Structure 1
Amino acid sequence: MGGLGPADRETLSNLGTRHEYPPNDTLLSEGDRTTFVIVLLSGWCTVWTPTDRGGRLMLALRRAGEAVGDMAALDGRPRSASVSALGPVTGLVVPGERFRWFLASRPHANALMTIQLTERLRSADHERRALASMTVLRRLAERLVELADRTGRLEDEAVTIRLPLAQHELAASVGSTREAVAKALRLLREQGLVRTGPGTLAVADLDPLRLLAAGHPHGTET
């Protein structure tokens, strides 16, 4: 949404209906055959799929400015994952046929959507490799660096991440258990790399965390 010009943003806004979603509400359900698209105007969402053990594997986080549900709008196939509100969310619900018309008539918007889909494909490929070859500690370090880069704010000489992301949701985002992530967080705290508090997680030093995410240990072991 942020990459569109004023005229394109106005056109897209006129094609949909604003909708408010409370925390934990389901915006899209895996397997549904609906084709509408939701452009996130505020808030954060989780994209997830259920596991065989009854839990959730979090595939991605989506924030304001991004679209969810676009794959079903473009190919007409069932939803490939569920999307839930991480906190209060405002979305613009656009019927699939209107969204397709918008992309067909706006080359710049079509190019932005292509870039988004390409980035998500690359991210999905990386996540598969990470689950197969990276330790929980390294995957967690990588996720914390990503969140710090996307949402972090400098507070008290640390990059603070303020997201309503519970520890079990953080674990789901790296494809691990809550217990394993709690252990990894404890190691990072002991190394002085992160500080945790109610509803917040502060990265005290991003550089060694980036090294750890890249596979260069910073005195920690798994």
Structure 2
Amino acid sequence: MGLFGERQAFLEKLSPGDRPALLGLGVRRSYASGEHLATEGDSGGQVLVILAGWCAVLRSTDRGPLLLALRQTGELVGEMAALDGRPRSATVRALGPVQAQAIPGDRFRYFMAARPYVTGLVMAQLTERLRSADDERRSLASATVLERLAACLVELADRTGLAEGGSVTIRLPLSQHEIAAAIGATREAVAKALRLLREQGLVRTGPKSIVVTDLAPLRLLGAAGAAAGETA
């Protein structure tokens, strides 16, 4: 489903000297759960480096918000608007308390210009996100809600899950509504799909948590949706 960025965050890829140099260009800001770090349509004047916490990247549609991605510690948000000067293309919302370093766009551009390898890192990140968006459009066009949900749960389990006694617990603060936004479905459709998975003994659900009791069938189900997209 492509909710996550690369496994090694942008900040981790910087050299030991460039990391503090970049952070020194901005100021520390704190955001409460649900607060916007950036808002779709606003003019993009700054880049934010997430220092702690999780953020959701959302884009408005006729059917409601679509969850494009999840961003965590060390990742950049807001860099596209800072680079092209156009209004922000998405909203970045805090999922729980978030700490971030806010860097003025002109300072970030100067930092990139003085370090060509940093420009390469940013371009590689943008390319990866473009490929992820292409995969998402293909999935929306061909896979069922159940297949898309399975793929989403597998990705969440692989990237954030905690192994506990043969099961994997996902504790990201995502509601059913937000999961629905991530896979381009209605909350009712996701609730129905989750009920089917519960009845098969593949998942257990609780407040702000999902326990995946058997990942293998979910991998097969998610892969079936991806294969349908490739042959459509």
- The TM-score normalised by the length of structure 2 is 0.89
CA distance in 2, matches of 1:159, 1:105: 44
Letter in 1 for 2:15: G
Could you say which structure has the greater relative contact order, defined with CA pairs below 8 angstroms and 6 or more residues apart? 2
Counterpart residue number, 2:165: 156
1:26 to 2:36 alignment: yes
1:102 to 2:111 alignment: yes
1:202 to 2:211 alignment: yes
- Note the 1:59-208 alignment, pairs <5 A: 59-208=68-217
Counterpart residue number, 1:44: 54
CA distance in 1, matches of 2:23, 2:60: 32
Counterpart residue number, 2:6: none
Counterpart residue number, 1:35: 45
Q: Output one character per residue of 1:79-99: Cα deviation in whole Å (capped at 9) or x when no partner.
A: 111111111111110100111
The alignment of Structure 1 onto Structure 2 pairs a total of residues equal to 215
1:135: how far off? 0.6
CA distance in 2, matches of 1:101, 1:186: 51
Q: Secondary structure at the match of 1:92?
A: strand
1:108: how far off? 2.8
1:193: how far off? 1.6
Q: CA RMSD in A?
A: 1.2
Q: Secondary structure at the match of 2:37?
A: strand
Identity %: 63
Q: Secondary structure at the match of 2:224?
A: coil
Q: Which runs of 4+ in 1 moved over 3 A?
A: none
CA distance in 2, matches of 1:195, 1:8: 44
Q: Secondary structure at the match of 1:44?
A: strand
Letter in 1 for 2:109: R
Q: Output one character per residue of 1:55-81: Cα deviation in whole Å (capped at 9) or x when no partner.
A: 211111111111010001111111111
1:212: how far off? 0.6
Q: Output one character per residue of 1:23-66: Cα deviation in whole Å (capped at 9) or x when no partner.
A: 0001111111122101111111111122224x211111111111
Q: Output one character per residue of 1:134-186: Cα deviation in whole Å (capped at 9) or x when no partner.
A: 11111111111111111111112211111111111111111111110011111
Gaps of 5+ in 2: 1-10, 226-232
1:14 to 2:24 alignment: yes
CA distance in 1, matches of 2:126, 2:179: 24
